[in-house]
Amino acid sequence: MGLAIGRGVEDTANGHVEDDGVVRKFATGATRSSGDGKADYEGFLSPQVIVRFGEYMMKHQYQADGSLRDSDNWQKGIPRDQYIKSMFRHYVDLWNLHRADKQGAEVEIGDVEEALCALLFNVQGYLYEYLNDR
């Protein structure tokens, strides 16, 4: 696990923080338990990526027949074999775009983002199913 605050002294947007590994003390006088051993999810994720992925997911909520599926539809269960097949197709798309870009071809930014978001969806879905199968 990562450290949220860690030991020592840190200046934050909310003021001075001291963390002795047991208690965090804030400049205001407020206290909390230490940040040691607590995952820093805010630091692990990028809001830009989350927003772009959300846009991708909203676009793909519409099915071929025009109906709108629920945002959490994928959590009902998709076989890992389907995720890996889709993941591979989107990886090949990204690989081709990467190669084309390296060779100086004009590559649409949106195409790269779509391939990356598709990969992220499939990686997340595969991990979700894997964790549920354990």
Q: From the CB of residue 97, how many other CB atoms can be counted at a distance below 10 Å?
A: 19
The answer on pLDDT for 4 being more than 90 is no
Q: Which residue has the tokens 């696990």?
A: 1
Note whether 76 and 127 are same-domain residues: yes
Q: Are residues 13 and 37 in the same domain?
A: yes
| Higher-scoring residue by pLDDT: 102, 2 | 102
In the structure encoding, which two tokens stand for residue 74, read together?
Answer: 């994928």
- Residues 54, 24, single domain; the answer is no
pLDDT on residue 82: 98
- In percent, the amount of the chain with pLDDT more than 90 equals 80
- Is 28 within the bounds of a domain? yes
In a domain, 23, yes or no: yes
In a domain, 2, yes or no: no
Same domain, 126 and 98: yes
79 and 103 share one domain:
yes
Same domain, yes or no, for 108 and 121? yes
CB half-sphere exposure, 86, CA atoms < 13 A: 18
Q: Check: CB of residue 36 under 8 Å from CB of residue 21.
A: yes
Q: Is residue 33 part of a domain?
A: yes
Spatial contact of 88 and 81, defined as CB atoms under 8 Å apart: no
Give per-residue pLDDT as tens, 60-92.
999 999 999 999 999 999 999 999 999 999 999
Residues 82 and 120 in one domain: yes
Q: Does some domain include residue 1?
A: no
Going by C-alpha positions, the residue among 73, 43, 46 that lies closest to residue 58 is 73
Is residue 52 located within the same domain as residue 39? no
Coil, strand or helix at 69: coil
Q: Which domain holds residue 14?
A: 8-43
Amino acid letter, 89: R
- Considering the domain architecture, whether residues 62 and 117 belong to the same structural domain is answered as yes
Average pLDDT over residues 16-21: 86
Task: Identify whether residues 65 and 123 lie together within a single domain.
Answer: yes
pLDDT number for residue 17: 85
- Extended beta strands in 36-89, E state: none
Same structural domain, 22 and 61: no
Radius of gyration of the chain (CA): 21
pLDDT(2) > 80: no
pLDDT in tens, 32-65: 999 888 999 999 999 999 999 999 999 999 999 9
Q: How far apart are CA 67 and CA 7, in angstroms?
A: 52
Write down the residue that tokens 């390296």 correspond to: 102
